[in-house]
Structure 1
């Protein structure tokens, strides 16, 4: 796939120039703008409009890198930081990262002009960043009249008077045409610094794959249908299990009824038989046990009579030596969850006798 490389005119020129990179070489070149096609477009911006810095920056996220770069730029720039656009790049195998600084207004002007010409660049690269980073000294390249200089941590437009000051008197090495073209191809393949970041990031068109969406819709419907069938199957299983438990319960209840008894409602009839067997209320056995336990707990008391009625009440005749023993027996019975109501006790000799009615609370 080919790539169009467009050189923006500098302040001294009016016309665009372009190159077409394909298969690792420059395949075509011309003046003006290339014919519109679907090839990616890389725009090379003039060196005099961009200030380049290099610094070691945090590598956790692009936002952190840009934030750190803006702090460095604020200290080194005369213009207010709010009016500047800062972009951070990366060069393979290098620790220091390039920082491009350009006026926000200039970026807007470039993008508006390119849009009017029907061009929305995929990347915008400062001209000095097309040159490889020299191990030492400086390199110089001429891009059709626009000469740039690149050092290990510097990049700027070549100027007869300023370049010696910037290089410390070291003469830049002039790159041959073949080396320049190879550097352009390498920079386009992996841009070391792209100014289209942050506010100026290119908006990508999202293509909706309706065929995939329809497939996902059918898959969702299938999943929901299977889930519904699973739920219905579980409900049926629970229903069958409940019916089986109910039948087994009814069978067990029938086994507990008297032989020959007509069964209409096994559970209810079983409850009624249980009441008949144990007695009303808490049942005779439980009530009598509470009474006997209370009498054993109070020495000197004696049970003379016991009667249990259909209401679950137990009438007992108690004989005691004194009033305190009577009260102790009543307290023990009540402590076991029963009500105990004494009648009038009669004195006969040295003993008291009377009735106590014991019933569930």
Structure 2
């Protein structure tokens, strides 16, 4: 939103709109009475509403420096309760910007119903102001004394730290002997650029702050879509990698089964179907019991579940027992293997551990329970 292109709307003291000014780069370029000839309300036009000064009480409060806006508003509300003629719960309290090294802050008090009425009147005409400024604060502050501008029924007064709009007789009591500079339309309009760019107090805050229009951030949406697509592709890649890993593991298991079968089958012929060829060999040997495949499955399952244990030899005897030679990193690994095979429902005899090939080696005999 550009502060160089401003639509200033003057609200009437009773109802409606008194008139408007169009400012560009601080200079008035168009004007109108009421809402006649109002320019198109297109961005980046900034809309500022000027509200009657006699409806707003402007005070100076000493607030600690460094307060957050919400803290400053809460502190000002407590102080306003001591000077407000109406219950502070019925008032809208707006705090002006602080000046470095100065604890005094301008604080505006206006009935909340009046504030709601002003905004309602404007919004009914399709106008949603970005700022709401009391009319006396549209005057630039003088270095000393007061500056007066006669606009409408009541003149506007602005001092160094004061701003009000009251009847001239009452104003004389407030001003006292202080010098008063009366300005005309040209001087008033010449100072609007500064007073609008940095309002001493903007009533559009707190409960009456302008709500931001919700808009789609297309750049952020595109980034989110790219991240989502990346996550989806990564998930798909993980699934594909898992499929290949399981496939390779199955191939390795089949190769291991063929290697084990080749060690117990007679002759040098190829092993194409380990389970069928072992069953055939078992039948030739008249083996019984649980059968080679059942015992071998229990043994191999136990070996796979026991870390750092590998099979080096396997023999199935005529009594239906499976004798295996295994190597491990420690003798404790053989005890763990024995427990796992027994948990599968088989009897296991573990021979004493000996050294073979630089690693502990043991003989196992597995048979059906």
Q: What is the TM-score of this pair, normalised by structure 1?
A: 0.64
* Corresponding residue SS for 2:196: helix
Q: CA–CA distance in 2 between the matches of 1:23 and 1:255?
A: 95
Q: CA separation of 1:144/1:186 partners in 2, compared to 1, >3 Å: closer, same or farther?
A: farther
**Residues 1:115 and 1:285: Cα distance change in structure 2 (over 3 Å):** closer
Alignment of 1:1-361 (within 5 A): 2-10=5-13, 16-36=18-38, 37-38=40-41, 39-55=45-61, 56=63, 59=66, 61-90=68-97, 95-143=103-151, 146-175=154-183, 177-208=185-216, 219=226, 222-223=229-230, 225-250=232-257, 253-254=260-261, 257=264, 260=267, 264-265=274-275, 268=293, 271=299, 273=315, 275-277=321-323, 281-283=347-349, 285=351
Taking a change above 3 Å as real, the CA distance of residues 214 and 122 of structure 1, as seen in their structure-2 partners, is: closer
| Worse-matched range after superposition: 123-132 or 135-144 | 135-144
Q: Shift of residue 50 of structure 1?
A: 0.2
Alpha-carbon displacement from aligned partner over 1:102-140 (angstroms, at most 9, x marks no partner): 012222332333345554333210112112344443333
Contact 1:89–1:194 (CA<8 Å) still a contact in 2?
A: yes
Give the deviation of 1:84 after TM superposition: 0.8
CA gap of 1:206–1:164, structure 2 versus 1, over 3 A, is: same
| Structure 1 position 73, deviation (Å) | 0.8
- 8 Å Cα contact 1:87-1:100 kept in structure 2: yes
- TM-aligned CA distance change 1:97 to 1:250, over 3 Å: farther
CA deviations over 1:68-99 (Å, ceiling 9, x no partner): 22111112212111111112232665653322
Distance in 2, Cα, partners of 1:282 & 1:253:
20
Question: Structure 1: which 5+ residue stretches go unaligned?
Answer: 287-309, 313-360
**1:20 Cα deviation after fit:** 1.4
Q: Which residue of 1 aligns with 2:361?
A: none
Distance 1:156 1:214, change over 3 A: closer
SS in 2 for 1:107: helix
Kept in 1, the 8 Å contact 2:58–2:108? The answer is yes
CA pair 95-124 structure 1, distance change in 2 beyond 3 A: same
Compared CA separation, residues 119 and 285, structure 1 to 2 (3 A): closer
> Do the aligned partners of 2:133 and 2:201 also contact (CA within 8 Å) in 1?
yes
User: Does the CA-based 8 Å contact 2:16-2:121 persist in structure 1?
Assistant: no
Q: Secondary structure at the match of 1:128?
A: helix
CA distance in 2, matches of 1:116, 1:285: 97
Q: How big is the alpha-carbon RMSD for the aligned residues of Structure 1 and Structure 2? A: 4.0
CA deviation after TM superposition for structure 1 residue 153, in Å: 2.4
CA gap of 1:98–1:214, structure 2 versus 1, over 3 A, is closer
Q: Distance between the aligned counterparts of 1:19 and 1:176, measured in 2?
A: 16
Structure 2: gaps spanning 5 or more residues = 279-291, 300-313, 326-345, 353-364
Post-superposition Cα deviations, 1:42-76, rounded to whole Å, max 9, x if no partner, equal 11111111011233256554332322221111122
Q: 1:169 to 1:278 in 2, by over 3 A?
A: same
CA-to-aligned-CA distance 1:136-190 (integer Å, 9 cap, x gap): 4333333356422222322111543333443453123334654422321222223
**Which of the pair has more CA radius of gyration?**
1
